[in-house]
Structure 1
Amino acid sequence: MTPTSDSPTTRRAEALYSVQGLWCTSCALAVEAQLKRLPGIGAASVHYPSATLLVEGEPEALDEPRLAAAVRRLGYRLGPPEAVADAEARLDAESRYLTLRLLMAVAFGMWTMLASLLIYVGAMPSPRLELVMAWVSGAFALPVVSYVAFPFYRAGWRTARARRPGMDALVSLGALTAVGVSLWLLSRGSAEVYFDTAVMLVTLLLVGRLVETLCRHRGLRALQALHQPPAEVQRWGRNGWQPCPLAAVAVGDRLRIERGETLPLDGILQDDEALLDLAPLTGESAPRRCLPGDAVAAGCRNLGAALVLEVSAAMGECRLDRLREQMWWQQARKGELQRLADRFAGWLSPLAVVLALLTLVATWLAGVPTEESWVRALSVLVVACPCAVGLAIPLAGLAGSGQALERGVVMRDPGAFETLARIRSAAFDKTGTLTAGEPQVQAMHTVAGLPDAELLALASVAARGSEHPLARAVRRYVQDVQDIKDARGAQDAGAGGELEVVQAEEVGGRGRRVSLGDGRELLLGSRAWLAAQGVATEQAADSGESEVLLACDGTVLARFTLGETALPGTAETLAELRRHGLALALISGDRAPAVRRLADAVGMKAEECYAGRSPEAKAKLLAAMPQPSLYVGDGLNDVVGLATASVGVAPLGANSTVQEGASVALLKPGVGGVEVAWSLARRTRRVMRQNLVLSGVYNLLALGLAVAMPIPPLVAVLAMVASSLSVVANSARLAWGEDEACGAREDGQLTERLAAAP
């Protein structure tokens, strides 16, 4: 349960559950209506494709047994949010259930259709044989309209009890009316029966349900792509490394991860360096070298020697677990278009029943034969089934969210999904957003005449064990240079053996003093600190760059200049957003020289850069930008800006508070996900509107035609099913539309990862 307000007079909370036994979108609307009538419940939203329920109201009103009892009265079951494996098992069971009934419908229904066809084409030599064939048609239709169609009757009754009759109520009325009219005609000796209409209605709707279930399967694959941890891990105990169930691992435990294994939990790297493949989590093409003390996340694969990590998050509390939970919350909420579709479907079913009764009475009073009057009323019921309306928005939203997650973007708010499609401006923080957030060595300037290999060895020893970002950057630089030389097979002369460290002392925030076994003393730190230690240094120009100096026995050996480098793909992403007409801005609290240098690197104009801005100033700038606006930021100083912008985006590695407040979270480094999210949001919203217009126009036109003129019930069935399948196909186009375009890019990334792996 999540609180949404702290005010004593307006205390509100939210709770997330799953609902078992849903058969269609009408079932979802019935559950919503049932819960909204409970005292203390302000809102209830059911996302049918994922069977997820979001309830909002007073905290004491959200008690699970109370809600479960209300849902149980309709014949459904309430439980905690499903794990991915449970959802997959549920959809597998639904698929088998639908397939079995569909096979029965086809096996018996084809004989019903054949018997009806013989009657329609006049193949029977006498009226008596036509009547016999009509009875045969009804006999074969009996299993279909009883056993196969039972789930429609059950769902129709449940939704009627909740006073929210929907598609299943109309389907049930249509099928039973077709059977009733046929039996009445048989009792009068007429062979013009409509058993084939009932059979076709049930069969084609089952086909539509099966196709829809398969689409929901695809939507779950995005969640399945997130890491599934092993059941057992190696944990350090009194007797060394011992196998242990993952569920028994607690925060602070130490785990051993062998080469090729995937990290099961979030943790802190211990003892030695590690080479990790972050592609399963972030999509990075090249492995990343991590140092002791670095935070590592579950889902990364160990490419180097066995590593040890100290667990920082237990099972169910890792970053990937939080992402799954965010997906559940996102799916349960409804956007503007979904609420519009629900309202339309809510009044469409009662309207269809009223129009069917009016058609029956009006045609009978106009002198139309009773048989034809019933057939006209039956056609009205069939064409009005709001299947397409109910599926128009959820399937498109599920397809869009799944596609986004597969490409490294978590859409946490469907309302923001719709707003994101209309943004006119985008602003970005600098450090941690357009850059990695950690300084990197830009160059090493040699002052003494020592070989580079020896200087690098001394710098590595001086920086070893330091937690200061600049010292860690120096150590990474040394290791990267060594990796390149190793890959080329280069042999460095003068590197010497392993240097022995006798004593190491770090002066917080200023530098580090290291005494070697051969009597030499190394100093690694700022120019001012080295000067204070009696080392002669030159006056440096203010270039806006950070620097670290290395000295040995009072003599400066090398100077390392450090700065921030734009993340790969940043310039291309910003250029693409500008090409589509978005106004861009770089808003940072950093110094102007650093901001200008980064802006030049990513292709931003001087008038688009704002340096030295406080959090409040960032918010004012965002409010003045063309609306709706988007802001990407990773730190606590960006929280106000994220709240001010129409859509807030949290990049990979953002502060936990930022991640909770952002509407969109990126799983891959860089801001390329912003362009992906914007593009997918536009496509998804376009498909949602297309689905809604198609389904709405169909239902209104079909109702008007069925009331105004005779339409054979079988034609009405085919038209209704075609409308539903068109919505499913349009949503599937969203899910599969970019597969081919992304295929080459993904193949290239895979090739790069394989080439970079040792």
Structure 2
Amino acid sequence: MTTASPQTARFLLEGLGDAASATRAERALRGVSGVSAARVNLVDGSAEVGFAAPASREAMAQALAQAGVPARQQTLVLSVEGMSCGACTGRVERVLRAQPGILSASANLAARRAEVTLWEGAATPATLAAAVSRAGYAAVPLADANPDARAQEYTRLRRDTIVAAVLAAPVFLAEMGGHIFPSLHHWIAGSIGMQTSWLIQFALTTLVLAFPGRRFFLKGLPSLARRQPDMNSLVAVGTLAAWAYSSIATFAPGLLPAASRAVYFEAAAMIVVLILLGRMLEARARGRAGAAIAGLVQLQPMQARLIGAEGVTEVPIATLTPGARLQIRPGERIPLDGVVEEGASAVDESLLTGESMPVAKAPGDALTGGTMNGSGALVMRVSRVGADTVLARIIAMVEQAQGAKLPVQALVDRITLWFVPVVMGLAVLTVAVWLVFGPSIGQALVAGVSVLIIACPCAMGLATPVSIMVGTGRAAQLGVLFRRGEALQTLAGVKTVAFDKTGTLTQGKPVLTDLVALNGAGDDLLRLAAAVETQSEHPLAQAILAAAAGQGLALPEASGFAATPGHGAEAMVEGRLVQVGAARLLAGVDLSALLPQAEALARQGRTPVYVAIDGKAAGLIAVADAVKPSSRAAVAALRRMGVAVAMVTGDAQAVADAIAADLGIAQVHAEVLPGGKVAVVQGMGPGVAFVGDGINDAPALAAADVGIAVGTGTDVAIEAAEVVLIGGDPMAVATAIRVSRASMANIRQNLTWAFGYNAALIPVAAGVLVPFGGPQLSPVLAAAAMAASSIFVLGNALRLRRLRAGN
């Protein structure tokens, strides 16, 4: 009987505040079958565990979570160079998942990255990178990655392609030219002789394989030895077979039947040339696919003009801290997020928000790093630096979305895992069949090598990630951020878009329009209501406060403030209970004297706010929130796209109906409390996207199939959403759906091509059409077709860069 070997695990714990919680964690760990020892360190918040089977890290983590001291998770990103096909990404993922403490791993061929989720402290980026590097790939933590790696890769591929082409050209001309032009063949035979020609071809082809083509052997043969062949293995075996057979025909022709004494040096050399050319074009296309990220990074200046005691000095932005005062000259980019202290100007925010019109800025207005100042000079105070800036967060969101794997990718991964081994098996079978039924060994070799070379796992591996990369990058340029890549697929199938009203379809800055006092002066009513609202953050409260400030009213102190979400607020003011809110807040108050005026105002799209003093109706305040200029166009655009539009709001039914009628929205859910929005959204059935901006919208954003947060809203709403509209423009919802649908259509086109190409041409390369008078592909044509397949996928994905806003 074999005894399981002991292991150790280390967890970093949350909620570990005292000895009692430490004891609880230790007890939970020791309760897991197979755990031999557990010790919790209160100082660093860690747990050291000794265990053996049947215990597992997952079981221990579950026990800790149930004990109220869950293990912390973290996500690490590695830069991985050397992946060339879907089989490579699968191998990188398997290597990472085999490391202790790893929860999930995802490798992205287009982005050349691997994202790993693990128990915090279970491994370091360096150890994970080392494990991937031992598998044959150049991996480093993302923070240590060479920012010029892609440019350098393209330069190397370009150099090697040129060298290989120069060396292979005489080989190709001598052999293939002789077949096309018999006079050239006779001239070679009559001058230097065919044996000398073969020797020259041998020397040049050997140089091609040994230098520009050595990358295929250095990566492909070790992968083959580990029984994990990839695209490099196919190329290595195919070229080596053609070279070896031709070398035998050149130096030991007696080992071959007379009818089979031919050379295929041109095939081996041109395969390397064409595949290097294809990879060079891939590298250039991948650089163009990532242009959106590069463009965002370049928006932020590296230097800023700091105002200090000694005057204005130019300093690196990396040295700045919140509170620093900066001078912004006309035509300069805003270096960091902050607030205008002095001056006035118009700032072009189009590269971040998609809005073409410059935005006027005056003292107190917010500035966003990366935007372009207009003709005015400004002095700003920095509020956020580094990773906290809006631009840095946008870049992080786009990078995260570009590295995601969509659900559709799961099928592709399963197929590509077995694709290369199956192709190698088919090549062996092809050679065997041709040896039995074919005219010569050479014909069998040509068919087998063609099968190896024409197979293109690269196209299958690139089909999904490159479309995600280009699609999410283009969306960011249009003011739409996909925080989670999966939303790119889900949004394409959305049938209904439900909008919150305030701050989403409307400006979110309501103003007081009417004031009705039953007893006493209107100013006194406004003064008391504003006193209550001083402690409220609701947009309607801000409108009442702004009106009071505009009239110069002195507000008394309010005590005992209490707010009921979706209802209103109340407080004691000057010894009286003042209630301000919707009719449902004043359930015991007789409002009959105010109802006719309230209904009339509501029919005009104004929100009535009732005021009661000591349990008696005192008056009515009407507030109106202007509709955003693009709301009508956004609703119309969505309806043209076949998407139903609904409004879900806590506002009064009459107000909601008036605004909905103005915007062309037929489905209205009004007077919905924050908690009720979730039920409304869930009741709409599958395929619902919810658009909101406030804290009270967060549950509905999380409950919807796709949550879309207005970027001008609260951080809570943004964190709950999968998609963020940077500028708050409702038209961006239509843009997001359009990008999603176009990206998914692009992915389907790429996958159809990738699978259809391989399904159709691998049998042709094997020679199934030859008995029926059809063609037999040469390895050179197979290499050209393989390179063209990957380039087609990349070129098709790059079409997404031409997408426009709206529908």
Q: Which amino acid aligns with 2:712?
A: G
Q: 1:577 to 1:143 in 2, by over 3 A?
A: same
Equivalent positions of 1:44-83 (< 5 A) are 44-81=105-142
Name the CA shift for 1:82/1:574 in 2 (closer, same or farther; >3 Å): farther
Contact 2:504/2:710 (<8 A) preserved: yes
In 2, Cα distance between the equivalents of 1:220 and 1:580?
A: 29
Q: 2:207 aligns with which of 143, 147, 162?
A: 143
2:264 aligned with 1:204: no
Deviation at 1:188? 4.1
8 Å contact kept, 1:231–1:245: yes
Aligned to 1:748: none
Aligned twin of 1:383: 454
Bigger shift: residues 563-572 or 427-436: 563-572
Superposition deviation, residue 172 in structure 1: 1.3
Superposed, 1:41-440 pairs within 5 Å as 41-81=102-142, 87=147, 89-121=148-180, 122-123=182-183, 124-125=185-186, 126=189, 129-157=193-221, 159-160=223-224, 163-189=227-253, 192-226=262-296, 228-270=299-341, 275-303=346-374, 305-366=376-437, 368-439=439-510
State the distance in 2 between where 1:440 and 1:11 align: 49
TM superposition score normalised by structure 1: 0.79
The answer to whether the aligner puts 1:572 opposite 2:643 as a matched pair is: no
Alignment of 1:312-711 (within 5 A): 312-366=383-437, 368-439=439-510, 469-470=542-543, 541-542=597-598, 543-544=601-602, 545=606, 563-605=624-666, 608-707=667-766, 708=768, 709=770, 710-711=776-777
Deviation at 1:170, TM superposition (A): 0.7
Instruction: Name the stretch that deviates more: 568-577 or 127-136.
Output: 127-136
Contact 1:119 1:133 in 2 (8 A): no
Give the match's secondary structure for 2:115: strand
The 1:472–1:240 alpha-carbon spacing in structure 2 relative to 1, beyond 3 Å, is farther
Whether the 8 Å CA contact 1:439–1:473 is kept in 2: the answer is no
CA contact (8 A) 2:650 2:671 kept: yes
How far apart are the structure 1 equivalents of 2:727 and 2:208?
51
Counterpart of 1:310 in structure 2: which amino acid?
Answer: R
Measured after TM superposition, the shift of residue 195 of structure 1 is 1.5
Which amino acid counterpart does residue 706 of structure 2 have in structure 1? V
Greater shift, 147-156 or 346-355, is seen at 147-156
One-letter identity of the residue aligned with 1:129:
G
**How far 1:622 moved relative to its partner?**
1.1
Q: Deviations over 1:379-419 (max 9, x none)?
A: 22112232221221122222212221221111222221111
Q: State the Cα distance separating 1:645 from its structure 2 match.
A: 0.8
Q: Name the counterpart of 1:729.
A: 795
SS of structure 1 residue aligned to 2:114: strand
- Determine the C-alpha separation between the residues in 2 that align with 1:403 and 1:187: 57
Decide whether the 8 Å contact of 1:337 with 1:688 is kept in 2: no
TM-score (norm 2): 0.74
CA contact (8 A) 1:40 1:61 kept: yes
Aligned residue pairs, count: 660
Q: For the Cα contact (< 8 Å) 2:348–2:358, is it kept in 1? A: yes
Question: Which AA in structure 2 matches 1:595?
Answer: A
Cα distance in 2 for partners of 1:570, 1:611 equals 18
- The structural deviation recorded for 1:547 is 11
CA distance in 1 between counterparts of 2:162 and 2:547 reads 68
1:425 CA displacement: 1.0
Partner of 2:778: 712
Q: Is the 8 A contact 2:304 2:326 kept in 1?
A: yes
Q: Is the 8 A contact 1:652 1:670 kept in 2?
A: no
Which amino acid in 2 is paired with 1:18?
L
SS of residue matched to 2:211: helix
Given that residues 33 and 164 in structure 1 are in contact (C-alpha distance below 8 angstroms), is that contact kept between their aligned partners in structure 2? no
Give the structure, 1 or 2, with the largest relative contact order (CA under 8 Å, sep 6 or more).
1
Deviation of 1:631 (Å)? 0.8
CA deviations on 1:98-132 (whole Å, 9 max, x unpaired) are 11111112212211110112432443334982332
Aligned residues: CA RMSD: 3.8
Question: Structure 1 residues 280-289 or 672-681, which shifts more?
Answer: 280-289
Match of 1:754 in 2: none
Query: CA-to-partner distance for each residue in 1:694-752, whole Å, 9 max, x for gaps?
Result: 2112212333333435543233223323322322232233334x4xx67xx9xxxxxxx
Alpha-carbon separation, structure 1, partners of 2:782 and 2:138? 34
What is the DSSP-based 3-state SS (H/G/I as helix, E as strand, rest coil) of the residue aligned with 1:49? Answer: coil
1:234 Cα deviation (Å)?
Answer: 3.0
Q: Tell whether the 8 Å contact from 1:277 to 1:286 is kept in structure 2 after alignment.
A: yes
Shift of the 625–163 alpha-carbon distance from structure 1 to 2, 3 Å rule, reads farther
CA distance in 1, matches of 2:495, 2:789: 34
Check 1:507–1:217 CA distance in 2 against 1; reply closer, same or farther (3 A cut).
farther
1:327: Cα distance to partner? 1.6
2:275–2:784 Cα contact (<8 Å) kept: no
Cα distance in 2 between the residues matched to 1:193 and 1:474: 92
Measured at CA, do residues 299 and 595 of structure 1 come closer, stay the same or move farther in structure 2, by a change above 3 Å? farther
Q: Is the 8 A contact 2:96 2:128 kept in 1?
A: yes
Where 2:299 maps in the other structure, the secondary structure is coil
Give structure 2 stretches of 5+ with no counterpart.
1-10, 15-57, 254-259, 516-538, 560-572, 577-593, 610-620, 771-775
**Are the equivalent residues in 1 in contact too, given 2:129–2:141 (CA < 8 A)?**
no
- Partner amino acid for 2:93? E
- Three-state SS of the structure 1 residue aligned to 2:142 is coil
Aligned counterparts of 1:653 and 1:158: Cα–Cα separation in 2: 53
The residue identity in structure 2 corresponding to 1:21 is E
Secondary structure of 1:267's aligned partner = strand
Aligned-partner residue type, residue 296 of structure 1: L
Structure 1 residue 626: deviation in Å?
3.5
Distance 1:265 1:311 in 2: 7
CA contact (8 A) 2:339 2:363 kept: yes
- Using a 3 Å threshold, how does the CA distance of structure 1 residues 609 and 698 change in structure 2: closer, same or farther? same
Distance (whole Å) between structure 2 residues aligned to residue 410 and residue 261 of structure 1: 25
Give the counterpart letter for 1:728 in structure 2: L
The answer to whether structure 1 residue 37 and structure 2 residue 107 are counterparts is no
> Percent of pairs identical after alignment?
30
User: Is the Cα contact below 8 Å between 2:83 and 2:112 reproduced in 1?
Assistant: no
Q: CA deviation at 1:367?
A: 6.7
Aligned letter for 1:639? A
What code does the residue aligned with 1:214 have?
R
CA contact (8 A) 1:395 1:731 kept: yes
Q: Matched residues in 2 for 1:547 and 1:616: separation?
A: 22
1:5-34 Cα shifts (integer Å, max 9, x gaps): 996358463423232432523443332222
Q: Counterpart in 2 of 1:485?
A: none
Q: Residues 593-630 of structure 1, C-alpha deviation per residue, up to 9 Å, x if partnerless? A: 4323322332212xx11122122211111112141111
CA distance in 2, matches of 1:393, 1:597: 44
- Secondary structure of 1:421 counterpart: helix
Asked if the contact 1:52–1:331 (Cα under 8 Å) also holds between the matched residues in 2, the reply is: no
- Distance change (3 Å), C-alpha of 1:571 and 1:155: farther
